Structure 1
């Protein structure tokens, strides 16, 4: 009986460790696996290296995913995917640059028009 009681603190410590460390890790791993299994073409993803892209193709048999990163197609293992956003709301960087250029050109035209008005009024 004393033998069993002497191991009770170790058993209690193991139980505490299980509920505080092992069980949350298992839940987190299960959640990530579900996220990867639900991934489909068109979803936006971020890799563990910080690369943003849109899923082009998923192969569960070879455990790979092909990402479209602004026209560049890259193949990654499923384990390299950090997060998945359903619906692929990643904005193309080229579109952002074109919009910024359009705004800059319009501001430039306004500045030129103002300068020409000022020079005409001083003549």
Structure 2
């Protein structure tokens, strides 16, 4: 009986850690992956480095997108470094 009483606090601590730390982090990662997968040409984005730009080219298989950060200045950005999407464009009909 004492063995079970010693394991119960460990199980409770793990359950609390799972619901307070691990599960929300997994949800946040899943939401970020969905946001990056839904990028379209014309979306205004912010990178993790703080650069604001407009997506000019999206390749489905590539891990990069082209972003215009000033008129005539485009840079290639790795998709996973995109922090947020400021303005979504409407899909073409």
Q: TM-score range with shorter-chain normalisation? A: 0.7 to 0.9
* Counterpart residue number, 2:81: 80
Higher relative contact order (CA 8 A, sep 6+): 2
The equivalent residue for 2:40 is: 40
> Runs of at least 4 residues of structure 1 off by over 3 A?
none
> What residue ranges of structure 2 are gaps of 5+ in the alignment?
none
Q: Which structure shows the bigger proportion of residues in helix conformation?
A: 1
Alignment of 1:26-65 (within 5 A): 26-65=26-65
Gaps of 5+ in 1: 88-123
Q: Which has the higher strand share?
A: 2
Shift in Å at residue 5 of structure 1?
A: 2.0
> Hey, what does 1:2 align to over in structure 2?
2
- Secondary structure (helix, strand or coil) at the match of 1:14 reads helix
58 and 7 in structure 1: CA distance in 2 versus 1, 3 angstrom threshold: same
Q: How high is the TM-score relative to the length of structure 1?
A: 0.67
In structure 2, relative to structure 1, the CA distance for the partners of 1:60 and 1:4 (3 Å cut) is: farther
The 2-side partners of 1:27 and 1:69 are apart by 30
